[in-house]
A and B are shown apart, each in its own frame.
Chain A
Amino acid sequence: MRNTVLVARFPKPDFTSGYQYPDVLHRVPMETFWSWVDVVLLVGMMGFVAWAVHRRRSRRAILAVSIVSVLYFGFFRTGCVCSVGSIQNVVLAMAGGDGYRLPLVVLLMFLLPLVFALLFGRVFCAGVCPIGALQELVNVRQWHISRAVTSALSFIPWVYLSFAILYAATRSQFIICRFDPFVGIFRMGGDVGMLVFGVLLMVLSVFVGRPFCRFLCPYGALLGIVSRVAVKRVKITHRQCINCRLCHHACPVDAIREPCGGKVAESRTIGTRRVALYLLLLPLLTVGAALLLQSQSDTLSMAHRDVWLYTQLRSDNPPAVLPAEVEAFHEMGRSMDELEASVVSVKESYRRLSAWAGALMGFVLGCKLVRLSLKRTRKTYEVDPSTCVACGKCFSYCPQAGRSTSQPMEQRAENGVYSNYPESRQRSSVAQHVNESTRFIKNSQHEEKHL
């Protein structure tokens, strides 16, 4: 309403001295160019990491990529738009946010890491994602956290994801961007609370491998699902493995599972019954969580600015100073009916979407419970593809890789470089392995000193 008609109160001056209006040029940065550079680099780096992980089995190459990623994607491009945040853009486009066109670059940012994860595992996490790369670069120690705790904590990303979807689909907020702890570091500025949180997370990741990736990152949760069925995955070459456990202890994300089996102290029927019951509970959990979250949809909808404004306007205890939004509402001459209609539709979509978000949480919870009730036996050390971020740390720790030839590990195994190892060493019982590997460790320590 205001300013819509520009009133020239003072007439255009009549210059007699031949004054020329200055030519002001407002340049637009080559944003499009750079965003395509982003995509190209993304593909190139992921391809390089895939090669480094699956063919070279080289940690060093991945570290190099990490440094490049932190410098380019992090400090140069200041972290926007990243694949993690692109979830929200995609959701917004899917929800049919009126007038929102999904940029093709953002779509590629979202899809490409998923495609690569399907083909090669989480190579994006390995060192291409600046957030993961930053944490990887500062990580030097591994504090042991019980896997029981970490697998329970890995539920948090799903909660985060559900809310991110809810808030993005209702055009309320991009919470992943808002609560990104590292973007402030890359920009060296921004919200102080988030900066402090980011620094704390960084300090934590010196001692704990990738805390953000494991316990917060919603995109990591998606990549984990996809990489579960990855075509190529990081593998321990069993024929060469001497069960030394070094990789298991080195893994920053605790993705290398130790051999286990036979030690379950309960009968098979009870186990089966538990699995069956959790399977039965799965739909109930889904529906229950959906209903529970839906019951809160009105509270949740306060995150939407129209709803917030509406409650402020309707407030019977106005603050001593009216919020600027309220003043602006009156000043803009927006009609109350329009606002009311918007609030009604927003609340309606909140009711629908919060049920879906709740269902997602409940479903994931149920699935996690089911998975945790399944018994598995492993004769050897194995890599869990969904948690493995392909950082390659295990390669650098593997004593077998130490005696390297230029051949990749698998080839070496196939060529039978170590075929003179006694059969018992390659396929023996767990107890024997433990004994042998301790012996081996002593040897390798000895060797290291000499090296």
Chain B
Amino acid sequence: MKKNIYRNIALVTMAFAIAVASMMAVSWWQMRRATPLQTEVMETLKQLGEANPDNAVLSGQIRQLDLLSRKAFFTGESQLKTGGWILCAMAAVIAFCLRMYYSAARQLPSKDLDTTDEWLTKSHARRYLRIGAACLVAVGLIAVALGPISKRSRVGQAGKSTSGQVNKSTSQQVNKSTSQQVNKSTSQQVNKSTDGAASGEWSLLQLSRVATEVERSSTDGAASGEWSLLQLSRVATEVERSSTSGQVNDTTQSAQALLPEVLHAPEDSNTLNSPSVPDSPDNPGSSTAPEEPADTLPIPKLTWNAFRGNGGSGRSSVRGLPTTWNLKSGKNVLWQKPIPRHGYSSPVVNGRNIFVTGADAEGRELYCFDLWTGELRWTLRATGISGSPGEMPDVSADTGLAASTVATNGKQVCAIFATGDVICADMDGKRLWGKNLGVPDNHYGYASSLLLYGSELIIQYDNNVGARLMALSVTSGRELWSRSRTDKIAWSSPILTKAAGKQAVIVVGNPAVTAYQASDGQELWRVECMSGEVGASACASDGIVYAASEYATCVAINASDGEVLWQADDCLPECSSPVATKSRLYVATSYGAVCAYDAASGKVVVQHELTTPFYSSPVIADGRVWLFSNSGKCYIFSTRDDFRLITSFDTGENTFATPAFTDSMMIVRTDKSLYVVRKE
């Protein structure tokens, strides 16, 4: 009888405890969802109150809400506290009652329970342990196999390929050895031999499998569950294998992560003349009409995030570009659209968004075009920025107010204009911040392009007064660091590469080429070799930084220590920036010569006299060098040692900007319009 009383008390208390607990949970949830002290309602009300200081009703409301929310907060707090104590007391009561109840009905062992065979238990325990350990090992090995992928994407952006490759090869080795082991152990299973341990492989999987073998050869009866371990390790191997192969397939697609630097310029012979380059499966075939509903069109993977590509490398791993197109007939041209305002800035592309800027005396604007349709998705005007000059600074006609290329990272996009106005927007054109850096004292007009490194927006602000290199927070516009520069005015743009073991920003100025640590702007090295008006940016390949400027020199600098490897002055660019591969440096001049330097010696190996000025920069894409002359003639060169001119044709529109590339597409800006080239 007594024990039933205890049971009933326990049950009733339990019911109460559950009720109290759920009430507390609800109250906690409410308090969590709207911390009464900082409700948005309150904030907006307070802001409203600030706007209308004389509105007595409003302030009355605020006061009332304030009182209410505080009351709610403190009642909630005390509720939770008392609830906690009540719950504890109830738990004690329940525990006590249950104890009494069950001690009254003491458990006695049933007869048939006690016949466990300890040896069987032990062998089961061994098996569970092995399975558990194998699971842990499998997790570890999968992590090892996945490591290179994530590392690769990280390393790729840092512009370093070796460690990724090493990792990959290790993981392949691991794969190989594991599959060998599986085979081996299967054969062992047949032979029932026990000498598997002799192989000396380090892999833990192997070890646990040896253990399995031992078991199998020794216990016949308990062997039933043994296969599961083998199965498990097989699964692990398979997972690894598939992840590795996936990784190989991914390499081309995830090349967005790879700076083109990682890829050495591939050979062009087979891709150019044979039509065998298939579209990557992600891209629709030529049958896909561009008028298709916009949402079903794929988002390309390759990006071109800044002037001359990611980090300013001038290279893209794009494939399958057409080698000819016609703007009039529209052959191989996806679309062509006018750009509302004029500018010399180059397009950048990330996902389906193409960003360009344009400006005139009436307005400075950042445009976002849709890659597939050419529709102008949004326009962002640089207005309402404090410190922005009312009157436009004097700029020359061939620089303009929008000569600087924007930079993006796929989440934010930033633009700068010759007025010193910087604006930053998200991908939907919502302005995040705007800032004026001080009107540049610049007789041609400010022209350096932006660069994004992580959360830093890096700006080379080399003007006649207050030359500096600075990094702003891309999310807030706040200055993260700033380095004043002794260099004179320049129009070149910063690039990113690895120097002295660190991610570095290379700035070509007058009179020095300087490497700054990208994270805090510390100077890594400085080489004084330039003079005159510097307009061409640096480029880098395989640990060598190249810089060239007309009336100065062309110089190759060891990125790790700033040592000058060679200097030459045969073929020097004015506005066009050079681009380099492992073995060659390509330079396009404003007097019509296009040259290939030998990267090792600095000798001009091949020179084409094309008698037309080049302001646009050569870029390496699809295994070829692409170059537009000012008059709009497109030249395509081989990246092989002979630097053969493969083809050239007139596009018919003046082109000063450098093209941008994404999956099998090229985006070109002419002096009036924007068009996208894509193989039909």
Contact A258–B114 (Cβ < 8 Å): yes
* Chain A, Cβ-Cβ closest to B132: A152
| Secondary structure class of chain B's binding surface, majority of residues | helix
Contact B197–A249 (Cβ < 8 Å): no
* Chain A, Cβ-Cβ closest to B517: A336
- Pairs A–B under 8 Å by Cβ, sample size 5: A149-B128, A151-B122, A263-B118, A296-B143, A320-B412
Contact B121–A148 (Cβ < 8 Å): yes
Contact mask A184-217 → B, CB, 8 Å, 1/0? 0100110010000000001000100000000000
Complex CA distance for A291 and B475, rounded to whole angstroms: 41
| Residues of chain B from 87 to 111 with CB closer than 8 A to chain A in the complex | 88, 91, 95, 98-99, 101-102, 106-109, 111
Contact mask A363-378 → B, CB, 8 Å, 1/0? 0010011001101100
Q: Give the contact stretch, choosing among B61-69, B133-141, B367-375, B576-584.
A: B133-141
Contact B197–A280 (Cβ < 8 Å): yes
Complex CA distance for A148 and B128, rounded to whole angstroms: 7
Contact A434–B114 (Cβ < 8 Å): yes
> Is B519 part of the contact surface with A, judged by Cβ < 8 Å?
yes
| Residues of chain A from 285 to 330 with CB closer than 8 A to chain B in the complex | 285, 287-289, 291-293, 295-296, 298-299, 313-322, 326-327, 330
Contact A188–B204 (Cβ < 8 Å): no
Please tell me the size bucket of the interface on B.
Answer: 35 or more
How far apart are A433's CB and chain B's nearest CB, in angstroms? 10
How far apart are B243's CB and chain A's nearest CB, in angstroms? 16
Partner of A314, one of B136, B454, B520: B454
| Residues of chain B from 511 to 532 with CB closer than 8 A to chain A in the complex | 517, 519-520, 522
> Is B147 part of the contact surface with A, judged by Cβ < 8 Å?
yes
Complex CA distance for A330 and B101, rounded to whole angstroms: 63
Complex CA distance for A351 and B118, rounded to whole angstroms: 41
| Residues of chain A from 396 to 451 with CB closer than 8 A to chain B in the complex | 397, 434, 438, 441, 445, 448
> Is A281 part of the contact surface with B, judged by Cβ < 8 Å?
yes
Q: Give the contact stretch, choosing among B215-223, B539-547, B564-572, B641-649.
A: B215-223
Interface size on A, residues (CB 8 A): 83
> Is B116 part of the contact surface with A, judged by Cβ < 8 Å?
yes
Q: Give the contact stretch, choosing among A103-111, A112-120, A139-147.
A: A139-147
> Is B409 part of the contact surface with A, judged by Cβ < 8 Å?
yes
> Is B211 part of the contact surface with A, judged by Cβ < 8 Å?
yes
| Residues of chain A from 342 to 390 with CB closer than 8 A to chain B in the complex | 362, 365, 368-369, 372-373, 375-376
Partner of A155, one of B121, B129, B481: B129
Partner of A322, one of B102, B197, B214, B475: B475
Q: Give the contact stretch, choosing among A29-37, A94-102, A222-230, A269-277.
A: A269-277
How far apart are B310's CB and chain A's nearest CB, in angstroms? 9
Given contacts A146-B121, A278-B211, A369-B129, whether A316 and B144 have CB atoms under 8 Å apart is: no
> Is A23 part of the contact surface with B, judged by Cβ < 8 Å?
no
> Is B184 part of the contact surface with A, judged by Cβ < 8 Å?
no
Complex CA distance for A363 and B57, rounded to whole angstroms: 74
| Residues of chain B from 249 to 275 with CB closer than 8 A to chain A in the complex | none
Contact mask A225-250 → B, CB, 8 Å, 1/0? 00000000000000000000110111
Name the residue in A140, A159, A246, A326 with the highest tally of chain B Cβ atoms < 10 Å from its Cβ.
A140
> Is A55 part of the contact surface with B, judged by Cβ < 8 Å?
no
Contact A320–B218 (Cβ < 8 Å): no
Contact A313–B454 (Cβ < 8 Å): yes
Contact B117–A365 (Cβ < 8 Å): no
Partner of A257, one of B101, B118, B157: B118
CB contacts (< 8 Å) of B140 on chain A: these are 292-293, 295-296
> Is B410 part of the contact surface with A, judged by Cβ < 8 Å?
yes
Contact B126–A285 (Cβ < 8 Å): no
CB contacts (< 8 Å) of B102 on chain A: these are 140-141
Complex CA distance for A394 and B379, rounded to whole angstroms: 80
Q: A-B contact count, CB below 8 Å?
A: 199
Known: A263-B117, A335-B520. 5 other contacts (CB 8 A): A152-B129, A188-B81, A245-B114, A291-B202, A373-B122
Given contacts A313-B454, A314-B454, A320-B475, whether A245 and B109 have CB atoms under 8 Å apart is: yes
| Secondary structure class of chain A's binding surface, majority of residues | helix
Contact A258–B480 (Cβ < 8 Å): no
How far apart are B497's CB and chain A's nearest CB, in angstroms? 14
CB contacts (< 8 Å) of A372 on chain B: these are 122-123, 125-126, 129
* Chain A, Cβ-Cβ closest to B217: A270
> Is A61 part of the contact surface with B, judged by Cβ < 8 Å?
no
Complex CA distance for A313 and B336, rounded to whole angstroms: 39
Contact A277–B473 (Cβ < 8 Å): no
Given contacts A318-B411, A369-B129, whether A277 and B81 have CB atoms under 8 Å apart is: no
> Is B397 part of the contact surface with A, judged by Cβ < 8 Å?
no
Partner of A288, one of B123, B129, B202, B453: B202
Given contacts A313-B519, A318-B455, A373-B122, whether A281 and B116 have CB atoms under 8 Å apart is: no
CB contacts (< 8 Å) of B474 on chain A: these are 318
Given contacts A148-B124, A277-B197, A335-B520, whether A287 and B454 have CB atoms under 8 Å apart is: no
Contact B475–A147 (Cβ < 8 Å): no
Given contacts A146-B124, A372-B122, whether A317 and B409 have CB atoms under 8 Å apart is: yes
Complex CA distance for A287 and B114, rounded to whole angstroms: 40
> Is A284 part of the contact surface with B, judged by Cβ < 8 Å?
yes
CB contacts (< 8 Å) of A397 on chain B: these are 106
CB contacts (< 8 Å) of B217 on chain A: these are 270
Name the residue in A288, A296, A327, A434 with the highest tally of chain B Cβ atoms < 10 Å from its Cβ.
A288
Contact B475–A318 (Cβ < 8 Å): yes
* Chain A, Cβ-Cβ closest to B521: A336
> Is A80 part of the contact surface with B, judged by Cβ < 8 Å?
no
Name the residue in B85, B127, B217, B475 with the highest tally of chain A Cβ atoms < 10 Å from its Cβ.
B475
